[in-house]
Structure 1
């Protein structure tokens, strides 16, 4: 696994500021999304604590991985919801039939194998 650098931390802080300014202040969601290239595969890690597997909608289309998540809670004090929408462009063609995803302990991991014959979009089921 790649060790983080001061530039990674700086990128994370700038992304946090961007979300804060454009996302509505305290309602902006703080998702830590990381893309990592390995031999023949891209790995995407997203910190998404508090969601259930069935609340995650993950899609890959035209070189872009999109993560949408909605968690709604209703109790005696009213209702509240948490929404996350993240997208990341992957720099290579991906074998959509071999994309795999796991969600454990609030961390989503999506594995995107590289394939030179990629030709379309695909919905990804989360295990």
Structure 2
């Protein structure tokens, strides 16, 4: 027999009291940046890929999926934690996202949504020139997005950039 987990049982009890079992369910996600793309991995085991709906409205990305539970007649349930229902997750996309080229794949119960950074928002090198009479000479390059140490570090956060001192 499995060990009793009071935290899990309390969470289950609170969810029942608050009515979350009959409404939308939250899907756990991982969100990370890899090169010029943000990637969302959403756990959706047992979901029919045809029930997954992903849409972008302005800067709001919505992922919705449906799990239907097939009832079994004549069985006595000992545990039934894999409930059916609608799973929903919404992410606010910051400026500089290429919403026209978002893609998604579903494999082994994990939905992967790839969100590209727009070309305009990608870091690029800007030549630094000096003007010596008629000649212009490039003396170095700087990369946009670089921040001098005395201004702090840049950290990406949902919906924008936070400067950390």
Q: Give the structure-2-normalised TM-score.
A: 0.49
Report the equivalent of 2:105: 102
| Count of residues in correspondence between the two structures | 99
| Structure number with higher helix proportion | 1
Partner SS for 1:91:
coil
Deviation at 1:99, TM superposition (A): 1.3
Matched, 1:114 2:117: yes
Report the equivalent of 1:69: 65
CA distance in 1, matches of 2:47, 2:26: 14
Report the equivalent of 2:19: 24
- Bigger radius of gyration, 1 or 2? 2
TM superposition outliers: structure 1 runs of 4+ over 6 Å: none
Residues 91-119 of structure 1: CA distance to partner in whole angstroms, max 9, x if unpaired? 233223321110001100000111156xx
Unaligned runs of 5+ in 2: 1-10, 74-82, 121-165
User: Contact between 1:92 and 1:114, CA under 8 Å: does it hold in 2?
Assistant: no
Which structure exhibits the higher relative contact order, with contacts defined as CA atoms closer than 8 Å and separated by 6 or more residues?
Answer: 1
Residues 13-50 of structure 1: CA distance to partner in whole angstroms, max 9, x if unpaired? xxx89x94896255563521122122211111100001
User: Contact between 1:31 and 1:84, CA under 8 Å: does it hold in 2?
Assistant: yes
CA distance in 2, matches of 1:26, 1:73: 14
CA distance in 2, matches of 1:57, 1:22: 29
Q: Give the structure-1-normalised TM-score.
A: 0.62
